[in-house]
Structure 1
Amino acid sequence: MRKAALASALALGVGMLAIPQAQAATPGEQGCPPDVWNKVVRIKSGYEPIGNTAGKRNGSSATSRLTYAMSTTTSKETTWSSGLTGSTSWGIAKVEATLSRDITEKTEKGRTVTNWMEVPGGKYGYTTPKIERTTYVIERWQDTATCGARFLGNEGTLGGITVYPFFSECIASSPCTPKP
């Protein structure tokens, strides 16, 4: 009986020493799905006037709040130049969703905008209503099978109105030009 128990234990031990063989369906790395996605890239920002410069001298000896109500003299629109696909509204939606940045589609001529400035006594205060336009490129990318990324092209370029209205100002001892 001892011999039978020993033989069973040896058979069981030999069976445990056998290395299981793994079967791979495909050799090498596992591939990534070929997802297509967009990337929004900010290129630059600049300012464009939408009205005339207004200004005056504070004739008081104390600092005063000078208020300017100006009528816009021009209208502006968000621009879109298409590359692969898309439209202006599509480009605006992509930028707003990706960067959480509001884009104004267009401004109107003849709208009254108001700005105020604290101007020291005896100084001049000038202001100009403007828009801030920011240029974005919306790129199309695709994941590769090796989990990298491949550039497919530009969907388009959006010249979005990102601040409306924006006021350039200057305060000086003599008449001045508002910057930026």
Structure 2
Amino acid sequence: MGPFDRGILVLYTVTLTLFFLALGIFLAGWPEPALLLWQEVNAPAYQEILWLLLVVYIIMGLRLLWRALKPERKRQAVVHEGGLGQVRVSLAAIEALAEKVAAAKPEIKEVKAKVASSSQGIALNLRLYTAPEINIPAVSEDIQREVKDRIYQVVGITVSEVRVAVESFIAAKPRVE
């Protein structure tokens, strides 16, 4: 759910909460304040505004219902289209493969990959956590080349760009004994 839909949800929820709070006050036996408010709002001068608000809130409710019932789109890349149909590989699988290739380097302690679309194929963003004593440009270039080649070999998708960002330095990989 994006920021627009979250804003609609907040506005819709706050408004409905206030409406039901006023209804609760009315049902609790304090009809005078609620009736006075209703008489003030229901004046002929406010009829057009009330109709407009009614339409807007119906549209907001339908949008929120549609977003809630709409299935999430799985992030997939088309790899091959043949006579028997399409072969698809999820972008999460491509990210996992890139992480595995980069993590195979002993200098890399941890890696997080994220796939982005590009006009020439796909682009990968790698966030690395490395040992402090490495040569970052040399290791980064090696990782970029290996990730690009391995994804092409396994998946058949051209990687147009591999962006590397060193997030932090970690002293040593934890050892299992």
Greater Rg by CA? 1
Answer 1 or 2: which has greater strand percent.
1
Question: Which of 1 and 2 has higher RCO (CA within 8 Å, sep 6+)?
Answer: 1
What range describes the TM-score normalised by the shorter chain of this pair? Answer: under 0.3
TM-score between the two structures when normalised by the length of structure 2: 0.20
TM-score between the two structures when normalised by the length of structure 1: 0.20
Answer 1 or 2: which has greater helix percent.
2
